[in-house]
Structure 1
Amino acid sequence: MSSVSWASVRVVTAATVCAAGLWAAPGQAVADGPNGIDDLRPGAHAAEPADVENRLDGRGVRFLARRDVPEPPEVSALSWMVTDLPSGKVLAAKDAHRPLPPASTLKTLFALAVLPKFAQSTVHTVSLADLAGIEAGSSLAGLREDMPYQVADLWHGVFLSSGSDAVHTLASMNGGWGKTIDDMQETARRLGARDTRVASADGFDTPGQVSSAYDLALFGQAGLTDRDFAHFASTKQAELPQEGGPDAFTIQNTNRLLVGSHGVKPYAGLIGVKNGYTSHAGNTLIAAARRGGRTLLVTLMNPQSGGRNAVYEETRALLDWGFEAAPRAAAVGVLPALEPDERTGELRPVTHRPRSVPLHKAGVGAQTDGAPFTRYRWFLPVAGAVGAVAAAGLGTALWRRRRLARQGPGEGAGPGSGSA
């Protein structure tokens, strides 16, 4: 074998070893990173959400055990999920995609579909037709026929009192009950909420109507990026109508974890979002809380323990666990990042990109690591290193060939050279 051939072999071998070392190092960093999958700082999007989200499929509790992370508490709810916002990192879940009736937590989807349609200062006089079709036993805000209300009053009725009269009135303004249901279903589809089937805009028990802990988390995440949604979801009490007058009265938010009532202590740092109950759905809850610059979202559906405050106390336990576990817990799933559509402004899920929509008043800005393709950000340095090694080796081989040509055969070749 010629000296040039040996040099080429040595160059190729060196380049291969160098490239292999550089290739393996980032992979190890990803696998052994502080969060188990890439670097999920608040505001950064996971690189491969689809790969991780598969862990949410199937039945039972999903949690990746680690020595320094406590296990999530045992709760009786049929389905639940704990998510770190705005990174979207799912810390733990149980039956996250199980279809269950959502009760009034579905009003969050109603708000996502209808809230942008009308200015809060718009005045609407409630008619008898607006209030038609309300199911017996529905929660009511106490709207009165032939009385003018600002749109903001109607949303206070939706979020605080879970009032079906407020939902029906806004749906009537939106073009009717059927159109509003269609709008809600389209909004769910756009956000990637594949488990949700809408049959009643106010969440009242209706055959075929279901959602899931995962989808409710999508609704909560999307809602908290909107200023008005976040405001209404966190409001503890309001005057109805807010302008006052002889017929005005005070309504209080029925979310006991937010206001503290009926034997439930308010949760420190809670910022909303929505509770629900029907005889078929049981109790349901979407709850977001902020502590020390971290925002967590818990969705919980139908506790089985029988306690009247079980939905709130089980949510409290999951929030407490989440704040303790979040800094070190590995993700079992990732909610898709949201980005406004350039044409319509509607939020849509995106993948392989940093999160660009901050949570409103959630204490965390829209931070990114400057590298949308996080898992592959090492590719350019690797390519550059391999190219440099290959160029150096090629230059060495050509130099030695020219030198041998000038020296002639058998002159200064050195040990081990020559042909076999």
Structure 2
Amino acid sequence: MTRSPSARRLLSGATALAAGLSVALMPPLAGAAALAEPAPPRAEAPPEPALLHRPGVQVRPRPGAPALPDDLSALSWLVADAGSGEVLAAHNAHLQLPPASTMKTLFALTALPRLPRSGTHTVTEAELADVGEGSSLVGLYAGLAYRIPDLWRGVFLSSGNDAVHVLASMNGGWTRTAAQMQARARALGAADTHVVSPDGYDAEGQVSSAYDLAVFGRAGLADPDFARYAALTDAAFPGDTDADGTPTWTYGIENTNRLLTGEDGVGRYPGIVGIKNGYTSEAGYTLVTAARRDGRTLLATVMNPQQGGPFAVYEETRSLLDWGFAAAGRVAPVGSLLPPPRPARAVTAAPPPTAVRPAPAAAPGTGYAWPAALLTGAATAATAWYRLRRRRRPAAAVVPPEG
């Protein structure tokens, strides 16, 4: 059947209108998806504790790695690479225990940078008044002027609590020095240490750990003066001095670390570079030691061996160092002595100004395309219908004026 042009336009407009309506009634796809409510995050299981925070022995041997020594009885121990900070193996690394005079490593780390490295100081009665009963002493006397390096030799070699008290007084006092030591420990990532008595004398609540003491030993090796004092086997100490601190007579002092001196039947460890030993009735025997071999420096910490007598701390340290040099490169690290990275500080930006979101442009396949299609179809159909009706309207009759 042949349709007039106007009818064809009407049919085209109706078709466009139907298409527009079908698009309008179509379920929105991408647009609705963009506005959909996000799914809630899935609950995650809490992370497992790091290996070094787990109790017991932690080691990750690779093929060909030597077995750990079987003569270790210490409540806590650790062996690490001083250069990289990688912990090769550990036992109860974060167990909090009394540290005895190994606490002097943290004291030296804290006070050495704050005090002059040379000059003299005249000791007072007040500075020696509170030295604990039964303390190890280097033999300071009130009224004598001592050179500051001699005071530090008294700390490292004789483990002199009298020297610690004098240096702490020079640093601003006992309480202030303890607070500075606590802050230094936290800055190094050593969270197990609680400082009460800077000299390591037994005090309620004073603790450290094999991990923290290894951290202190590693940091100490980076200070040339610390490393030099920690490696000394013996020195001449002033028994009397002139007013300017010049000794008028001296006596010999010797390092109490037998692995360093080779005394009392304990063989000197090959390549040893120090650092510090300790003993109290509450802490037992403690030791932080560093040794260098073939360009590698290892650190070993041993706290309170449970068998073997007073020299067991040295022999267990020897076994750990021997194992560490043989195992280096053959075990995967179980942790690190490096402090954790500090989180980046969040920058708070000003909120953007509120704006009315413009209507998205029409696009096929989205929930926002229907208005244009609907309007286009409706306009086309209306125009065609108007033209068709006008074409088919009968001519009006001519009416003469009334007269």
Q: Are positions 1:69 and 2:65 aligned together?
A: yes
Where does residue 211 of structure 2 map in the other structure?
Answer: 214
How far has the Cα of 1:128 moved from its partner? 0.6
CA pair 52-235 structure 1, distance change in 2 beyond 3 A: farther
Out of 46, 58, 61, the residue aligned to residue 54 of structure 2 is 58
Contact 1:52/1:332, CA 8 A, preserved across alignment:
no
Q: CA–CA distance in 1 between the matches of 2:87 and 2:48?
A: 9
Out of 270, 286, 289, the residue aligned to residue 288 of structure 2 is 286
Q: Which amino acid aligns with 1:144?
A: Y
Where does residue 375 of structure 1 map in the other structure?
Answer: none
Out of 308, 315, 321, the residue aligned to residue 317 of structure 2 is 315
Out of 305, 318, 327, the residue aligned to residue 307 of structure 2 is 305
Where does residue 413 of structure 1 map in the other structure?
Answer: none
Q: CA–CA distance in 2 between the matches of 1:212 and 1:156?
A: 25
Contact 1:184/1:198, CA 8 A, preserved across alignment:
yes
Aligned pairs for 1:3-402 within 5 A:
54-74=50-70, 75-241=72-238, 245-336=247-338, 350=341
Q: CA–CA distance in 2 between the matches of 1:126 and 1:103?
A: 24
Q: Which amino acid aligns with 1:304?
A: Q
Larger mean Cα displacement after TM superposition, 323-332 or 208-217:
323-332
Structure 2 SS opposite 1:208: coil
CA pair 331-52 structure 1, distance change in 2 beyond 3 A: farther
Q: CA–CA distance in 1 between the matches of 2:215 and 2:310?
A: 27
Q: Which amino acid aligns with 2:172?
A: G
Q: CA–CA distance in 2 between the matches of 1:182 and 1:328?
A: 41
Contact 1:53/1:333, CA 8 A, preserved across alignment:
no
CA pair 52-249 structure 1, distance change in 2 beyond 3 A: farther
1:223-261 CA distances to partner (integer Å, 9 max, x unpaired)?
Answer: 000000000000111111398644311111000000111
Contact 2:61/2:330, CA 8 A, preserved across alignment:
no
Contact 1:53/1:332, CA 8 A, preserved across alignment:
no
Where does residue 48 of structure 1 map in the other structure?
Answer: none
1:245-296 CA distances to partner (integer Å, 9 max, x unpaired)?
Answer: 4431111100000011111010010000000000000000000000010000
Structure 2 SS opposite 1:91: strand
Structure 2 SS opposite 1:251: strand
Q: CA–CA distance in 1 between the matches of 2:134 and 2:266?
A: 24
Contact 1:105/1:286, CA 8 A, preserved across alignment:
yes
Q: CA–CA distance in 2 between the matches of 1:351 and 1:60?
A: 29
Q: CA–CA distance in 2 between the matches of 1:122 and 1:283?
A: 34
How far has the Cα of 1:52 moved from its partner? 11
Aligned CA RMSD, in angstroms, stands at 1.8
TM-score after normalising by structure 1: 0.67
How far has the Cα of 1:351 moved from its partner? 7.2
Contact 2:52/2:335, CA 8 A, preserved across alignment:
yes
Contact 1:120/1:151, CA 8 A, preserved across alignment:
yes
Contact 1:101/1:280, CA 8 A, preserved across alignment:
yes
Q: CA–CA distance in 2 between the matches of 1:88 and 1:105?
A: 19
Q: CA–CA distance in 2 between the matches of 1:52 and 1:167?
A: 41
Q: CA–CA distance in 2 between the matches of 1:80 and 1:175?
A: 34
How far has the Cα of 1:53 moved from its partner? 8.5
Q: How many residues align?
A: 291
Can you give the 5+ residue segments of structure 1 that lack an aligned partner in the other structure? 1-50, 338-348, 353-420
Contact 1:336/1:351, CA 8 A, preserved across alignment:
no
Q: Which amino acid aligns with 2:62?
A: R
1:278-315 CA distances to partner (integer Å, 9 max, x unpaired)?
Answer: 00000000000000100000011000014221000000
Q: CA–CA distance in 1 between the matches of 2:48 and 2:80?
A: 14
Q: Which amino acid aligns with 1:262?
A: D
CA pair 351-181 structure 1, distance change in 2 beyond 3 A: closer
How far has the Cα of 1:350 moved from its partner? 4.4
Q: CA–CA distance in 1 between the matches of 2:225 and 2:169?
A: 20
Structure 1 SS opposite 2:127: coil
Can you give the 5+ residue segments of structure 2 that lack an aligned partner in the other structure? 1-46, 240-244, 344-403
Q: CA–CA distance in 2 between the matches of 1:53 and 1:224?
A: 29
Q: CA–CA distance in 1 between the matches of 2:171 and 2:49?
A: 35
Contact 2:285/2:310, CA 8 A, preserved across alignment:
no
CA pair 350-296 structure 1, distance change in 2 beyond 3 A: same
Structure 2 SS opposite 1:223: helix
Structure 2 SS opposite 1:87: coil
